[in-house]
Amino acid sequence: MPPAAGFATKRLGKELQKIHNSLPPGIDLVSAENFEEWFLDIRVLDSNPLYKDQTYRLKFKFSSSYPIEPPEVVFVKLPDRPIPIHPHIYSNGIICLDLLGQQGWSPVQNVESVCMSLQSMLTGNTKDERPPGDEDFVRANRLRPKDIDFFYHDNNV
């Protein structure tokens, strides 16, 4: 029984309403022109030297089963928006985070809570490095993020 058309739309409409009213500091809505793809910017609030004075662009893609299914979330690279360095973020912007996988996702999560989790994932990081095998992965990967079987070997980073 796939959710009826409009299921995701309804929920995203409510989320958008709330986002327009207020968003936590360091999170800004860039565009939400439809209910399939949104862009948001995030910044790290403390003075972590790895991410100081940088803003990062996130792309959210929603399926019609959102929020039963997790959204697809990646960092996108622009002239003024680099891909943050992090042992769980590949240099093509793909994020290895359990809460974005089917096992870790809960339908009560939302766009705002995902942004906040990513913010704190950056805040807490001290390692100036990419995931192991980044180069090979970026070169070889043709899968969409949701189809990659990540092994979340270390959720504390």
Partner 1 sequence: MDSDDDFMSAVSSEDDVLPDDSENEDMSDAEDFDFDDEPDPDLGMSKDFGVKKKVPFDINFKVFHPSDIQKQQDDLINEVNMILDISKEEAAILLRHFRWNKERLLEDSMDKQRQVFEAAGLAQTSAGPPRLETIPGFVCDICCEEGEGLQSFAIKCGHRYCVDCYRHYLSQKIRGEGEAARIQCPADGCNLIIDSRSLDLLVMPELTGRYHELLNRTYVEDKDTLKWCPAPDCQNAIECGVKKKELDKVVPTVACDCGHRFCFGCILNDHQPAPCELVKKWLKKCADDSETANWISANTKECPKCNSTIEKNGGCNHMTCRKCKHEFCWMCMGLWSEHGTSWYSCNRFEEKSGTEARDAQARSRVSLERYLHYYNRYANHEQSARLDKNIYQKTETKMVQLQKESGMSWIEVQYLNSASQALQTCRQTLMWTYAFAFYLARNNLTEIFEDNQKDLEMAVEALSGMFEKNVTELSDPKLKVEIMDKTAYCNKRRIILLEDTAANLAEGRWTFNVELTSGAAASSSHRR
| Binding stretches for partner 1 (CB under 8 A) | 1-3, 7, 10-11, 14-15, 65, 67-69, 102, 106-109, 148-151, 153
| Cα–Cα dist 6/93, whole Å | 29
CB of 56 vs partner 1, minimal distance in Å = 24
| In the complex, least distance from residue 54 CB atom to partner 1, rounded to whole angstroms | 28
Residue 58 Cβ vs partner 1, minimum distance, rounded to whole Å: 20
| Cβ closest to partner 1, residue 34 vs residue 65 | 65
Q: Which is nearer to partner 1, 70 or 84 (CB)?
A: 70
Distance CA 99, CA 77 (A): 22
Non-local CB neighbours of 16 within 8 Å, separated by 6+ positions: 32
115: annotated active-site residue: no
Strand order in the sheet with 27-31: 27-31, 37-43, 55-61, 72-76
Query: Which residues are tagged catalytic?
Result: 96
